[in-house]
């Protein structure tokens, strides 16, 4: 199956909301409050199963997988890019089933941090630079209370909106924004030790072109995969130990009441604070038709449907192929 067909068929989102797993990804990007269009400039993850049970953004749990960079199909370039200037405010619109204010965004149990990196496009070794992060910002007040986390009490509670600003004076060029949420609800043990559990990573990449006359170059950063290790205390962590009150049984974490966000520190050239801006209307679809292709364990399946019964047409092996040569997409229309 050709990769262009894969992208066409699996950048769709399930129209009904009957899924048990609230796994989210970016549906749109606002620049200074103006929506750039649903899925425009976004390297949308693959579905990993047939309708109605498949969902996008699996998540990624293997820290050694190339999918940790931009998720499954993250190597496939979107047909559009989003033009921005240094200082512009980007609002990433994360959702699960629908691009609406009533969407659940992410499961209420998926507590964890949120992070944003920027890299030249295409990325290289040590090219991802962290420009924003938020983790545990208020402790729970009862034993085993999870506290307040970026994913659930901030982003989900604010209709899926994650805000970041383009660094001041950034040199013109093509970049990838790697936005990420991490679910820690099964992170009390590492995926390496128990593949049925482990921290759940939801990375998603957005293509931007910085314009203007800036001269600031990004410093050396980190690689994906490579930036996170199973030995990191922020990767193996019991969210139910993030409480002011002593639990009734011992916590397995030695970091009771604190949480170290994974990865490097935020770059000193990033904006010291990021505030929300007023958002205009959504431009584009808020729900779309069910998908007819999916990627599971690196196997691409294409199918036709008779009612809810899938008839497999083709299968092929999918291997991520990151090019070192940039091919300029068209600017995304507003």
At 158-205, the pLDDT tens digits run: 999 999 999 999 999 999 999 999 999 999 999 999 999 999 999 999
Name 267's Cβ contacts closer than 8 Å, sequence gap at least 6: 129, 130, 131, 167, 218, 219, 221
* Claim: this prediction has a pTM higher than 0.85: yes
What is the predicted pLDDT for the residue at 17?
30
Q: Indicate the number of domains in the chain.
A: 1
- Return the residue matching tokens 């196997």: 299
The owner of tokens 């410093």 is 219
In this predicted structure, what is the pLDDT of residue 252?
65
**What is the residue range of 66's domain?**
1-334
Cα first-last separation, the chain: 32
Residue 289 in tokens: 């038709």
The Cβ of residue 248 has, within 10 Å, a number of other Cβ atoms equal to: 7
pLDDT digits (tens, 9 = 90+) for 231-287: 999 999 988 888 888 777 777 666 677 899 999 999 999 999 888 999 999 999 998
pLDDT of residue 173: 96
- State how far the alpha carbon of 35 is from the alpha carbons of 218, 271, 279, in Å: 26, 22, 8
Residue 328 burial by Cβ neighbours in a 10 Å radius (0-12, 13-18, 19+): exposed
Contact 13, 287 (CB under 8 A): yes
Question: Pick the residue with more confidence: 173 or 327?
Answer: 173
Among candidates 155, 149, 215, 209, which has minimal Cα distance to 184? Answer: 149
- pLDDT of 11 > 80? The answer is no
pLDDT per residue over 158-169, tens digit each? 999 999 999 999
Query: Which contiguous run of DSSP H or E holds residue 70?
Result: helix 67-70
Q: Region 130-154: what's the mean pLDDT? A: 93
- What DSSP element (H or E) covers 10? helix 3-10
Look at 276 and 117; give whichever has higher pLDDT: 117
Residue with tokens 């929506």: 35
Q: Which of 179, 33, 160 is nearest to 93 (CA)?
A: 160
C-alpha distances out from residue 67 to 70, 73, 107, 176, 321, Å: 6, 8, 22, 15, 11
Rg of the chain over all Cα atoms, to the nearest angstrom: 19
CATH of the domain at 203: 2.70.50.70
Q: What is the mean pLDDT of residues 64-85?
A: 95
Nearest to 84 by CA among 180, 206, 205: 206
Structure tokens that stand for 299 in this block: 């196997």
- According to DSSP, residue 9 is labeled H
Q: Residue 96's CB: how many other CB atoms inside 10 A?
A: 25
Q: 156 in helix, strand or coil?
A: helix
Confidence of residue 51 (pLDDT cuts 50, 70, 90): confident
């Amino acid at each position: 199956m050709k990769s262009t067909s894969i992208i066409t068929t699996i950048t769709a989102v399930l129209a009904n909301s009957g899924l048990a797993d609230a796994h989210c990804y970016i549906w749109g990007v606002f620049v200074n409050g103006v929506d750039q269009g649903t899925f425009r400039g976004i390297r949308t993850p693959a579905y990993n199963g047939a309708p109605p049970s498949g969902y996008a953004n699996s998540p990624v749990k293997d820290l050694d997988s190339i999918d940790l960079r931009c998720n499954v199909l993250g190597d496939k370039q979107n047909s559009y890019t989003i033009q921005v200037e240094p200082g512009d405010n980007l609002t990433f619109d994360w959702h699960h089933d629908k691009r609406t204010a009533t969407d659940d965004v992410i499961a209420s149990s998926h507590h964890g941090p949120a992070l944003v990196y920027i890299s030249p496009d295409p990325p290289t070794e040590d090219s991802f630079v962290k420009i924003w992060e938020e983790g545990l910002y208020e402790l729970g007040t009862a034993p085993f209370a999870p506290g307040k986390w970026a994913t659930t009490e901030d982003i989900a509670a604010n209709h899926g909106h994650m805000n970041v600003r383009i660094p001041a004076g950034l040199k013109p060029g093509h970049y990838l924004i790697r936005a990420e949420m991490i679910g820690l609800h099964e992170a009390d043990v590492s995926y390496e030790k128990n593949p049925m559990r482990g921290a759940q990573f939801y990375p998603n990449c957005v293509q931007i072109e910085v314009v203007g006359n800036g001269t600031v170059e990004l410093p050396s950063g980190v690689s994906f995969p490579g930036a996170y290790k199973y030995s990191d205390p922020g990767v193996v962590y019991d969210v139910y130990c993030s409480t002011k009150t002593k639990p009734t049984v011992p916590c397995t974490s030695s970091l009771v009441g604190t949480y170290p966000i994974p990865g490097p520190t935020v770059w000193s050239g990033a904006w010291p604070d990021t505030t929300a801006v007023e958002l205009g209307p959504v431009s584009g679809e808020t729900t779309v038709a069910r998908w007819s292709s999916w990627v599971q364990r690196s196997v691409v399946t294409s199918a036709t449907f008779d009612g809810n019964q899938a008839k497999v047409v083709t299968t092929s092996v999918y291997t991520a192929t990151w090019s070192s040569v940039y091919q300029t997409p068209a600017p995304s229309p507003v």
